[in-house]
Amino acid sequence: MRYTLSSLTKPLAIAAFVGTMTIAGMFNAQAQSTSPTLYEQLGGKEAITKVVHDMILNVAADNRINHFFAKTNIPHLQMELVTQVCEGTGGPCKYTGLSMRQAHKGMHLNTADFNALVEDLQKSMDSNHVPLGLQNQLLAILAPMQPDVVHQ
Ligand code: HEM
């Protein structure tokens, strides 16, 4: 068999490509294993507990929505919220509370109620100096829950 330039370069090019992919893959895997989770970037359980705690204080002072919480066991709610945020942001927690649909059933919450709670959370994140990029990442995790929270 005669080796033309192209018959030699093609396998070489493919080998180089596969090699690149493998090395890129290795770098990628390394990047994934070392890049901090949102949980870590937020400062872990303690920092999340502080943000949730201050959000609840903001809710308690928020006349638009505080009536919903009149009979709520606040320490229990705080514990469930912290666990949920911990798990949702990639932390070492397992949320075992009610589903969002069950938890808010019969409350007849609307979008304005939902937005008020989000504002109270943002206020807490601001006062705890959570960078805007991280705030948006947390809100992006909570936003898809809206259909299960409102109009139940
Ligand atoms: C993404 C938004 C929300 C999330 C992630 C969320 C999460 C939770 C969680 C984890 C619980 C505890 C469930 C359990 O006890 O097992 C809960 C309960 C509760 N939520 Fe929400 N919630 C959201 C929005 C809202 C809004 C907008 C309101 C009202 C304005 C609200 C009012 C309540 C109340 C009053 C309870 C306690 C019910 C009780 O007394 O047992 N939530 N929520």
pLDDT digits over 55-96, tens only? 999 999 999 999 999 999 999 999 999 999 999 999 999 999
Q: What is the pLDDT of residue 34?
A: 79
What is the sign, positive or negative, of the torsion defined by CA atoms of 115, 46, 101, 55? negative
* 3-state secondary structure at position 60: helix
Cα of 6 to ligand 1 centre, how many Å? 66
80 and 95 Cβ atoms separated by less than 8 Å: yes
**pLDDT under 70 in the chain at which residues?**
1-33
Q: What is the pLDDT of residue 110?
A: 98
Which residues does ligand 1 sit against, CB inside 6 Å?
Answer: 65, 68-69, 71-72, 77, 80-81, 84, 97-98, 103-104, 109, 113-114, 117, 142, 145, 149
Can you tell me which atom of ligand 1 is nearest the CA of 77? 12
The pLDDT of residue 32 is 58
pLDDT reported for residue 121:
99
What pLDDT is attached to residue 15? 47
Beta strands in 8-75 (DSSP E): none
H or E element, residue 39? helix 38-42
Residue type, 63: N
The pLDDT score that the predictor gives to residue 146 is 98
Question: Amino acid identity, residue 117?
Answer: L
Residue type, 53: H
The pTM assigned to this predicted structure is 0.83
